Structure 1
């Protein structure tokens, strides 16, 4: 985020994140570029540490990422480690619960949350972006839901109900069942992104959104966001994403058992 945070040092460096604060704007940067910013339990814990603080002076939270890609999804090696330590899926359930808490924290945060997406946003990476209020992507960004091809259910962080609410059931069904990649302009058509710009203009696009929001009175902003969330939630009456951790654990443990017995 060179232009947006030019000359602004990280005010905190966690194991997987860096945060930058400029007055009422807080930027959270996924910072494991050598691993494609893959989501691990450590990253989920770091995100919860930052998001749960909810400083009332913060009016805009930007979720960004270092390196070429926004996020390449969940860390499958860590899933395998969880199953090796607990074949009943306890570690998978705990990780899934963290994921849901993080995505809920982004959605329900009193500040306006903005996702700044470059490169690839895959699986859990797409879920993190989708949990934000506003989403801008580079015109070269790509998205994919590969879970089914990997033997996983699309059950991470409440992704499916959010995506269906934004894009519609028929389109989401096709994306999940085929696992095909789609580009930034299709993502905008699906309302996965609200704005698409050249990658060099990402920071300017974030700033264009942030500036007017930062001028809004904090009480009105907070209540309006809560109202929007409430109205959106009313369109997801059948939201069963609370079961995501159980579904993920059930599928992975069954697959692990079949491979072990076989």
Structure 2
């Protein structure tokens, strides 16, 4: 009798900007362009969508972190400039903004518990990625900033603003957005942007301490509880207009580009 042909498994997708590591039910996803400060580009967003879209249902905890000195220095402004050079109406920025919203929504709605492991700087889009996670731990030397307004941009990326207002409160968010000042990990914890702050050398231990009980929870109960938490959080954001983020960003950047070109 002829032996059956061996089954060929599909090859794992090639990731250009991320590094992943799996230990049982815990998947670590690392932003892996440290020479660029792990800035968020279209390639990063595409890779994140690939990983989150192909995620094994057996994953119970997903850890998001960054290689090198910083978690993430925000959006890549050179790529913004390339998008505008190609199409001054901002079409490329609109596409990128839509991807950003999909990535952040995929982190929030992920069936696994998502943990942001933050060190160094988390700026703009980097803060948005961390805030989309369920749990957020930062090193004592981590710093945060929302510089968009100083750059002539709206704070409209990945649904950041409604999430931030929901977690922190409108008055404090207004001050952070309008001043664009840097703030420390200790202040981030007082604002509930971080739930825990530890020395840098204890970050991995803090992540593991959260992951251990989570992986023992019954999977169905964990999934339903996350769905309930997300639904209740969303109900507090009835005026969430973040679906317009991509349009708003594209419109403002295109207008700014036009003003500079004609000025």
SS in 2 for 1:91: helix
CA distance in 2, matches of 1:195, 1:154: 25
SS in 1 for 2:38: coil
CA distance in 2, matches of 1:21, 1:54: 11
CA distance in 2, matches of 1:238, 1:54: 31
Which residue number corresponds to residue 219 of structure 1? 220
Q: Deviations over 1:15-35 (max 9, x none)?
A: 000010111111000000000
Query: Does structure 2 retain, via aligned residues, the 8 Å contact 1:82–1:91?
Result: yes
CA distance in 1, matches of 2:130, 2:230: 16
Query: Does structure 2 retain, via aligned residues, the 8 Å contact 1:54–1:109?
Result: no
Which residue number corresponds to residue 14 of structure 1? 15
CA distance in 1, matches of 2:15, 2:31: 10
1:12 CA drift (Å): 7.3
Matches within 5 A, 1:58-73: 58-73=59-74
Listed as ranges, the gaps of 5+ residues in structure 1 are 1-10
CA distance in 2, matches of 1:12, 1:186: 39
1:77 CA drift (Å): 0.3
SS in 1 for 2:144: strand
Q: Deviations over 1:69-88 (max 9, x none)?
A: 00000000000000000011
Q: Does 1:116 align with 2:111?
A: no
Matches within 5 A, 1:1-262: 14-262=15-263
Query: Does structure 2 retain, via aligned residues, the 8 Å contact 1:12–1:20?
Result: no
1:56 CA drift (Å): 1.2
| 1:66–1:12 CA distance, 2 compared to 1 (3 A) | farther
Give me the CA root mean square deviation.
Answer: 0.9
1:54 CA drift (Å): 3.1
* Alignment TM-score, normalising by the size of structure 2: 0.95
| 1:12–1:22 CA distance, 2 compared to 1 (3 A) | farther
Structure showing greater radius of gyration is 2
SS in 2 for 1:114: strand
CA distance in 2, matches of 1:56, 1:99: 23
Q: Deviations over 1:58-115 (max 9, x none)?
A: 1000001100000000000000000000011100100000000000000000000000
Listed as ranges, the gaps of 5+ residues in structure 2 are 1-11
